Structure 1
Amino acid sequence: MSQEQLPLFREKKISRVNWIGVRTLYWKEVWRFYKVLGQTVLAPVVTTFLFMTIFTLALGGSSRVSGDIPYQMFLAPGLIIMAALQNAYANPSSSIMSAKMQGNIVDVLLAPLSPAEMAFAYVMGGMTRGLLVAIMLTLSMFLFVSMPFSHIWAIVFFGVATTMLLSLLGVIAGIWAQKFEQSTAINNFIIVPMSFLSGTFYSIDRLPGIWHSLSQVNPFFYMIDGFRYGMIGRSDGDPLIGLAYLTILNVIMWTVCYRMIKSGYRLRP
């Protein structure tokens, strides 16, 4: 064999990150919700659209104000981010739970993916669904109100940070839960109540004493308030505090998620 032919038989170097594997798992997660787009994306858009219709028309929202801005302008950003975070949670939690129940989670565990790569792919899948819902809702909200997009950096940061945090929670819930009831319980008894009590439909400045103080430790308040600040320039809290709070929570959740996958907690038989 000549020296010129030897390079043809050399093994291809493998990078430190398995980008092919990450991309494959990510697209599996995207394709999973894309196949039922009407249920996973259009349904929450229609539901949120109905919320806006009820508050704007049936309850006289078009003539109400919150502070010095129309109520529908105050309401729209909260509804957008609330729908986005619920869908960001639903995607990885249901995907991992389904894989565990069907027994094909082993196919993912046997793939040449590190725990960090697996977590990244699942989280990005959830974020994609959540952000897609947010974009479609933002476009549909222009039927009711024109939002000025006051601070683009806040829209981007709080949109990404919120969907990332809820996607991480979805991964953790999918790993921890042993049946679908446990996974949905987190959404029904934690995510939905905390998002409803975070200032989505009202300003927390109207809350008395202890309730106003408690609302300021609710992470969902900073998600909604920060996104509203980006959309219309109005906030009940300090967006920079929300930025720091959500960043810290995301780091903590990434660490928990990574350790759960690495240990094989409730993933390996």
Structure 2
Amino acid sequence: MKPTPLLQPRTDMGSGFPTLLRKELLRFWKVAFQTIAAPVVTALLYLLVFAHVLEGRVNIYGTVPYTSFLIPGLMMMSMLQNAFANPSSSLIQSRITGNLVFILLPPLSHREIFSAYLLSAIVRGLCVGACIWIVALFFVALPAANVLWVLVFAILACGIMGTLGLIAGLWSEKFDQLAAFQNFLIMPATFLSGVFYSIHSLPPFWQAVSRWNPLFYTIDGMRYGFFAVSDVSPWHSLLVVSAVFIALCFFALRLLASGYKLRS
């Protein structure tokens, strides 16, 4: 009888990642009325109110009607908020209910955990953005001048907020802390990123402040994909957004690798 070696190659390595990814995808998909339909309705209300008030009174980039200008901003704002909410709410709920241990016990590496949460956040954000775009087509024709630019900035933006949501979920030990992270950091940065206006309409001081907000570059890059014009160069926006995304990924991976607030 042939002896069995002490160290056998595992045949189930990597199986934990698709399972965790499927769990995180189903987590928001099974309540799509709340996680996808509700943000679409909220964005639609913003569109109806602002378009009714400012349409015909404001032209952006010289030729772009305000309603058309507003839609990419609303798409990006909704994608950012929902990409952040997916991992942050999942982690805080798992921590409070005590089932976080079911993620820690299986042989999952920190890279697999990070990838599963990040990909599910990106998918949720893209689903929300695509639904808003489809609904907006009933109000105004909005073909994209360059779909590739739209997709690149959408994925990077959702990646940034998904990573931030993961960091917030690791740091927060209760809902109050997560709410503070969202209300005092995410919401101001999102609303002051040029969703409803071009930064060239701002005083010089606030233009300078806006250029320090990385979320501004996600929205400006998205608008370039639709209109082929933007407040700053799309390559500059791509460089800033990519650098922020990479830096946040490294930081989140270090937190997961160290077991920050997970093993205590």
Q: TM-score range by the shorter chain?
A: over 0.9
Q: 1:259 aligns with which of 245, 251, 254?
A: 254
Q: Which moved more, 1:93-102 or 1:18-27?
A: 18-27
In the alignment, structure 1 residue 127 sits paired with structure 2 residue 122: yes
Provide the C-alpha distance between the structure 1 equivalents of 2:160 and 2:34, rounded to a whole number of angstroms: 22
Residue 231 (structure 1) shift: 1.5
Residue 65 of structure 1: which of 45, 49, 59 is its match? Answer: 59
Distance 2:86 2:54 in 1: 35
- Which residue is 2:240 aligned to? 245
* Count of residues in correspondence between the two structures: 261
Looking at structure 2, the residues matched to 50 and 253 of structure 1 have their Cα atoms a distance apart, in angstroms, of: 32
Which residue of 34, 41, 50 maps to 2:36? Answer: 41
Q: Which residue, 12, 20, 41 being the options, matches 2:15? A: 20
- Specify the alignment match of 2:203 in structure 1: 208
Q: Do the aligned partners of 1:62 and 1:72 also contact (CA within 8 Å) in 2?
A: no
Query: Which residue identity lines up with residue 131 of structure 1 in the other structure?
Result: L
Paired with 1:98 and 1:130, the residues of 2 have a C-alpha distance of: 20
Aligned to 2:148: 153
Alpha-carbon distance in structure 1 between the residues aligned to 2:80 and 2:107: 30
1:192-227 deviations in Å (ceiling 9; x for gaps): 111111111111001112211111121111010000
Distance 1:60 1:243 in 2: 30
Q: Secondary structure, in 3 states, of the residue corresponding to 1:25?
A: helix
Distance 2:262 2:24 in 1: 18
Q: State the distance in 2 between where 1:162 and 1:195 align.
A: 11
Of 191, 194, 202, the match for 2:189: 194
Equivalents in 2 of 1:147, 1:101: separation in Å?
A: 43
CA distance in 1, matches of 2:215, 2:111: 26
Check whether the contact 1:147–1:232 (CA below 8 A) recurs between aligned residues: no
Does the 8 Å CA contact 2:54/2:66 hold for their aligned counterparts?
Answer: no
Query: Aligned with 1:19: secondary structure?
Result: coil
Q: What stretches of structure 2 of length at least 5 have no aligned partner?
A: none
Report SS of the residue matched to 2:107: coil
Q: Distance in 2 between matches of 1:215 and 1:60?
A: 22
Report the equivalent of 1:184: 179
Aligned residue identity for 1:146: A
- TM-score of the superposed pair, with normalisation by structure 2: 0.94
Superposed CA offset, 1:73-96 (max 9, x none):
111000001000100000000000
Give the residue type in structure 2 aligned to 1:186. Answer: F
Query: 1:146 & 1:20 partners in 2: Cα distance?
Result: 44
User: Identity of paired residues, percent?
Assistant: 40
Structure 1: stretches of 5+ with no match in the other structure = none
**Structure 1 residue 38 displacement after superposition:** 0.7
Which residue among 139, 142, 146 is the counterpart of 2:137? 142
Deviation, 1:60, is 4.1
d(CA) in 1 for partners of 2:67, 2:54: 10
* 2:90 corresponds to: 95
Give the partner amino acid of 1:164. G
Which amino acid in the other structure matches residue 55 of structure 2?
G
